[in-house]
Amino acid sequence: MTYSDRLRKRWAVVRLLPQMRRVDVGWFYHYSDADGYAKILRRLDPGCKFEVVFDALATEQQDLHI
In a domain, 3, yes or no: no
Domain that holds residue 34: 8-64
Average of pLDDT values for 27-41?
Answer: 96
- Do the beta carbons of residue 54 and residue 24 sit within 8 Å? no
First to last CA, the chain: 12
| Number of independent structural domains in the chain | 1
- Asked whether residue 32 is domain-assigned, the answer is yes
The pTM score is: 0.74
Q: Is residue 54 part of a domain?
A: yes
46 domain-assigned: yes
In a domain, 56, yes or no: yes
Does residue 1 form part of some domain? no
Task: Determine contact, residues 2/37, Cβ cutoff 8 Å.
Answer: no
5: confidence class by pLDDT, cuts 50, 70, 90 = low
Q: Does the pLDDT value for residue 59 go beyond 60?
A: no
Is the residue at 37 inside a domain?
Answer: yes
3-state helix, strand, coil in the chain (%, to 5): 40, 30, 25
